[in-house]
Amino acid sequence: MSTQPETLDLQLEPEDNARLANLCGQLDQHLRQLERRLGIEINNRGLSFRLIGERQSIQLGERLLIDLYADTAQEVLTPETIHLALQASGADLLADAVEDRLPEVVIKTKRGLVRARGPNQQEYLHAILKHDINFGVGPAGTGKTYLAVACAVEALESDRVRRLLLVRPAVEAGERLGFLPGDLAQKIDPYLRPLYDALFEMLGFEKVNKLIERNVIEVAPLAYMRGRTLNESFIILDEAQNTTPEQMKMFLTRIGFGSTAVITGDVTQIDLPRGQPSGLRQAVEILKEVNGISFTFFNARDVVRHALVQRIVNAYDAFENPQPLQAPPQEKT
């Protein structure tokens, strides 16, 4: 992970569309699997690949893509194949080798202290405090949104900003919700519930409602940002993988003087219509070299869960990626 991601371009050979499809997997599931485990972003046009992320991670990703593409000449790749290749590559050891390089940041709220868990979260907090625009990209459960809300609450309570804006694109997550009863606020509230939950935990139910009534806190769908200029504000765009490129550009150009923006999302869980590019994916590639913008890439090792949930996740991983049977040890005679 780095606040300034690096880019690595890779051209695979020989050209073979069948082998390319084998490498990428159905709906690019193999590439998404590599992204989650390595904490990088992988974009491709045909056999031309671009890897974005921390240097060691993209170098490991390059080696894996080359080796896996070579394997496609003899076998059909599966999620199990990708899992075993990642295990053999030492991806987990790479994550273990990352050491804390920055002093600990502790976010103070009236409900208690919020601390980073692990070096990625630590650098994420440092980046938010240092930069005006920050991207947090990675799997669900890595603390991207929660830590951003904590920073926003601290900025408001210390009078560094005058208001908080928490924004999400109102995109259905693979479900057809149909007609929703109620007024406009009641229709969009379900999409914004995770943001409310984090606010309630840090400020308390009554104070959050009072601040919302005074328009100090605004929780709204992304479409409401069009045409506005947001000065002295802390703005969080959550679920940014479900923005279109046009929406992302619109959001980024709303930011005014004295404001901080945090954009969070998981590029492996895009709910946009098939064929519609993600604004988050495009923004990472376009803005990766712009000064003043930070990028934090989380991976599967950063997931923070309840102990029971973590065991459930591990059980599903074992079911979906079964290990080959090993011969029992032979008894010594």
Amino acid found at 123: E
- 301 CB-near residues (< 8 Å, 6+ apart): 39, 92, 95, 118
Q: Are 96 and 299 in contact (CB under 8 A)?
A: no
* Domain(s) of CATH 3.40.50.300: residues in the chain: 106-312
What mean pLDDT is predicted for residues 78-97? 76
Angle 67-69-75 from CA coordinates, rounded to 5° = 100
Say yes or no to pLDDT of 82 above 60. yes
What mean pLDDT is predicted for residues 91-99? 58
Find the range with the poorest average confidence among 154-158, 174-178, 201-205, 209-213.
174-178
> How sure is the predictor about 282, in pLDDT bands with cuts at 50, 70 and 90?
very high
What's the pLDDT at 178? 52
Amino acid found at 72: T
Task: Give pairs for 12-21: CB < 8 Å, separation 24+.
Answer: 12/47, 12/49, 12/65, 12/66, 12/69, 13/47, 15/46, 15/47, 16/72, 19/69, 19/72, 19/73, 20/46, 20/47
Find the range with the poorest average confidence among 70-79, 128-137, 169-178, 275-284.
169-178
What's the pLDDT at 180? 55
Matching residue, tokens 């709906």: 27
Provide the percentage of residues in the chain whose pLDDT is more than 90. Answer: 41
What's the CATH class of domain 106-312?
alpha beta
What mean pLDDT is predicted for residues 198-218? 91
Tokens of 215: 């328009």
Q: Would you say the C-alpha torsion 216, 218, 224, 230 has a positive or negative sign?
A: positive
d(CA 150, CA 129): 12
> How sure is the predictor about 330, in pLDDT bands with cuts at 50, 70 and 90?
low
- Tell me which residue of 31, 5, 41 sits closest to 240, measured CA to CA: 41
- Note if the pTM is more than 0.85: no
Q: Are 116 and 124 in contact (CB under 8 A)?
A: yes
> How sure is the predictor about 249, in pLDDT bands with cuts at 50, 70 and 90?
very high
The more confident residue out of 314 and 199 is: 199
* Domain(s) of CATH 3.30.1370.10: residues in the chain: 6-97
What mean pLDDT is predicted for residues 311-323? 66
d(CA 132, CA 123): 15
What's the pLDDT at 99? 45
What's the pLDDT at 182? 60
Kindly report the CATH number that applies to the domain delimited by 6-97: 3.30.1370.10
Say yes or no to pLDDT of 331 above 90. no
What's the pLDDT at 324? 57
What's the pLDDT at 184? 53
- Hey, is 9 helix, strand or coil? strand
What mean pLDDT is predicted for residues 116-127? 85
The more confident residue out of 173 and 273 is: 273
What's the pLDDT at 250? 94
User: H-helix or E-strand containing 209?
Assistant: helix 205-213
What's the pLDDT at 142? 84
Between the CA of residue 102 and those of 106, 121, 124, 295, 300, what are the distances in Å?
Answer: 12, 11, 11, 16, 21
Q: What is the pLDDT of residues 17-62, one digit of tens each?
A: 999 999 999 989 999 889 888 888 999 999 999 999 888 889 999 9
Matching residue, tokens 């499809």: 21
> Over the chain, what is the mean pLDDT?
82
Question: Which segments of the chain are extended strands (E)?
Answer: 6-11, 41-45, 48-53, 106-109, 112-115, 133-137, 163-168, 217-221, 233-237, 260-265, 293-297
String of DSSP letters for 226-266: TT--B-SEEEEE-SGGGS-HHHHHHHHTTB-TT-EEEEEE-
What's the pLDDT at 268? 79
